[in-house]
Amino acid sequence: MATASVAFKSREDHRKQIELEEARKAGLAPAEVDEDGKEINPHIPQYMSSAPWYLNSERPSLKHQRKWKSDPNYTKSWYDRGAKIFQADKYRKGACQNCGAMTHNAKACMERPRKVGAKWTNKHIAPDEKVETFELDYDGKRDRWNGYDASTYSLVIERYEARDEARRKYLKEQQLKKLEEKNNNQDGETEGGDSDEDVDEDDLRVDEAKVDESKQMDFAKVEKRVRTTGGGSTGTVRNLRIREDIAKYLLNLDVNSAHYDPKTRSMREDPLPDADPNEKFYGGDNQYRNSGQALEFKQLNLHAWEAFDKGQDIHMQAAPSQAELLYKNYKVIKEKLKSQTKDTILNKYGNAASEEEIPRELLLGQTEREVEYDRAGRIIKGQEMALPKSKYEEDVFINNHTTVWGSWWKDHQWGYKCCKQLIRNSYCTGAAGIEAAEAASDLMKANIARKEAGEEPPAPVEEKKLATWGTDIPDDLVLDEKLLAKALKKEDERRREEKDERKRKYNVKWNDEVTPEDMEAYRMKKVHHDDPMKDFL
């Protein structure tokens, strides 16, 4: 018999247990019974979850593996809220000093602290609360709704229904008031023209206002499934589509017009690009993608990508608030830097827009003033026009010069007209300097002419053509027969070495000097691939 493992104190106890089991088998000892008084089948192991089919066991047992017996001390009840057990007439020793109840002390008292406690006044003694203790099982300790009274939820329903009823009543009163005001205004316009038809119409309008509000409020509601991945739950969504609207794919039925994607229901381009923009209500999805907040969001994404590429820890999807804050700071700093750059340029060069208006004489170089001159050029009538001056320095002469730099031009060089010098910081030499410069120039020209006249023209050198690689053979080429035979023999050896590399020597001596005989031997041995008779050579 297989039994559950039991720890024995000694070998003697183990031996007695074995003898008792053998006596039970032989029928000499009473059978073992369980807690319910039923006989335990010795052929069924007590650790099995289910007995075999061939054993007539009433029920399986797993006593050693699970808590099969429930504790009767566990309870499902809950605290009796607000219950009182005893109302005292005077203060008792050990009671709460604030309210006089025996079930708690002054520190745990939930009543408002009195100015003078019940211990000293002996008045308004609070009743004792009903204090209960429960021993809960595993599920009872973790039950969120333990002790919840479902009947209390009816109060919540009643409160919401009362609020909705008050709202409907208020809306109905407002609508009736508007209709009455409208009827009174119409009655004032038609003085004394009341007829039975008008009265009937007024009654009809009042009756329409009294129609059930629930039917009027839900006329534009549609019960539909909320768009979620798994289908989602149902919810009330208002149908905002106007039935007179034309679907975007029906605006232009031309095959080559804007493409419509039925899966995403998007049409990026304008289906009617030639139509009047004041008349068409739809100009393609790109109209909304490139304007308003969509454009700002695109710029925000672009800034986040560029900042991340530059090494800044920013991510638009992971931390959108951080990315938006950084973008705002970036725009503020950018505007500040822009204004600083603008102020620097204005301080350095000035602002032509804010300055005074330029005089007409300086702007156009002409005036309406009339001036008369005589034959000698003297002014007879009027005043001579003053030449406008620019903001640059004018007529500033340095180093004794009487003219400014740039008043003289010669041989693609600027200079001074007073001394005809081409050096910017030179000292003026006046007319003497001009004469000296001209004399030096004449002397140099005379020396060049004399030298050209004394020299004989060089004899023309004939160009000698060498028979080298890639050149044609000259007509006056003379070859040595012995050297040519050696060159042919040398060319044959070179070709044999190219065919069989085993004949190449270890130490190769290279000679890069090519003689006309070597060149002729190469031409004689060369195979001409475009020669039709090369196979017969």
Distances, alpha carbon 220 to alpha carbons 241, 244, 245, 443, in Å: 10, 15, 16, 111
| Residues 214 and 197 sit within 8 Å (Cβ to Cβ) | no
In angstroms, rounded to a whole number, what is the distance separating the alpha carbons of residues 339 and 228? 49
| Residues 246 and 264 sit within 8 Å (Cβ to Cβ) | no
In the prediction, which pLDDT does 375 show?
84
Q: pLDDT of 259-316, one tens digit each?
A: 999 999 999 999 998 888 888 888 888 888 888 888 889 899 999 999 999 998 999 8
In the prediction, which pLDDT does 127 show?
94
In angstroms, rounded to a whole number, what is the distance separating the alpha carbons of residues 108 and 102? 12
In the prediction, which pLDDT does 338 show?
95
Give, in degrees to the nearest 5, the angle at Cα 233 between 232 and 234: 130
Q: pLDDT of 372-401, one tens digit each?
A: 888 887 887 777 666 667 777 888 888 889
In angstroms, rounded to a whole number, what is the distance separating the alpha carbons of residues 435 and 510? 70
In the prediction, which pLDDT does 508 show?
61
Tokens representing 116 are 């003078």
Tokens representing 26 are 């032989």
In angstroms, rounded to a whole number, what is the distance separating the alpha carbons of residues 394 and 405? 11
In angstroms, rounded to a whole number, what is the distance separating the alpha carbons of residues 520 and 511? 17
Question: What is the DSSP annotation of 106-151?
Answer: STT--SPPPSS-HHHH--SPPPEE--------HHHHT-TTTT--GG
| Residues 360 and 373 sit within 8 Å (Cβ to Cβ) | no
Question: What is the DSSP annotation of 368-390?
Answer: S---EE-TTS-EEES-PPPPP--
In angstroms, rounded to a whole number, what is the distance separating the alpha carbons of residues 180 and 205? 9
In the prediction, which pLDDT does 229 show?
53
Write the CB contacts of 339 (distance below 8 Å, at least 6 apart in sequence): none
In the prediction, which pLDDT does 300 show?
92
Residue 91 neighbours by CB distance under 10 Å: 19
Predicted confidence pLDDT, tens digits, the chain (537 residues): 444 444 455 667 777 777 777 776 666 555 555 555 555 555 544 444 555 666 555 655 555 555 555 666 677 778 888 899 999 999 999 999 999 999 999 999 999 999 999 999 999 999 999 998 888 888 888 888 888 888 889 999 999 999 999 999 999 999 999 999 988 888 777 655 555 555 555 555 555 555 444 444 444 455 555 555 555 555 555 556 666 778 889 999 998 899 999 999 999 999 998 888 888 888 888 888 888 888 889 899 999 999 999 998 999 899 999 999 999 999 999 999 999 999 999 888 888 777 667 666 666 666 667 778 888 878 877 776 666 677 778 888 888 898 998 888 888 899 998 998 888 888 998 888 888 888 888 998 888 888 888 776 666 665 554 444 445 566 667 788 888 888 888 888 888 777 776 666 666 666 677 888 888 888 888 777 777 777 776
In the prediction, which pLDDT does 475 show?
65
